[in-house]
Amino acid sequence: MIITKRKQLDHILEKTKGSRVFIAGCSECATLSHTGGEKEVLEMKDYLEKNGVTVTGWAVLDPACHLPNTKRIFREKLVEDTDKILVLACGNGVQTVRDALPDKEVIAGLDSLFLGEIIHLSEFERRCNLCGECIVDEF
């Protein structure tokens, strides 16, 4: 799975201030990393609203990197009155949301770190850097 961490809150606030924002999480990797599941999406919603950002809605995409599902969810959620989409998912999820909503500004709320394995709760082990030249069978 892709391990992610949340970007700094002041960075996210700077990118969203004065906008109508829809928050999208991911049901897969970001949920398991505790960076973009329902709990984290709702925490981000509360944080943004307390800091004066209008949140127009939210969804946990199933998963964010699945274009047909992402398009369907956004059709159901009606995001026309939204200026920006804050995505709490890996870089692939962010790009998928951008493909699904090409007329909206899409903001990455997480940083993708590596392909890894869950060791225990929020403890992860790096397994792959996705370098494109696999040599793990040589170890």
pLDDT of 56 reads: 97
Go through the domains of the chain in sequence order and give each one's CATH number. Answer: 2-138 (3.40.50.1860)
Give the whole-angstrom CA distance, residue 68 versus residue 58: 18
Place 130 in a pLDDT band, splitting at 50, 70 and 90.
Answer: confident
Q: What is the pLDDT of residues 74-115, one digit of tens each?
A: 999 889 899 999 999 999 999 999 999 999 999 999 999 988
Kindly tell me if the per-residue pLDDT of 124 is higher than 90: no
- pTM score: 0.91
Segment 15-66, tens digit of pLDDT: 999 999 999 999 999 999 999 999 999 999 999 999 999 999 999 999 999 9
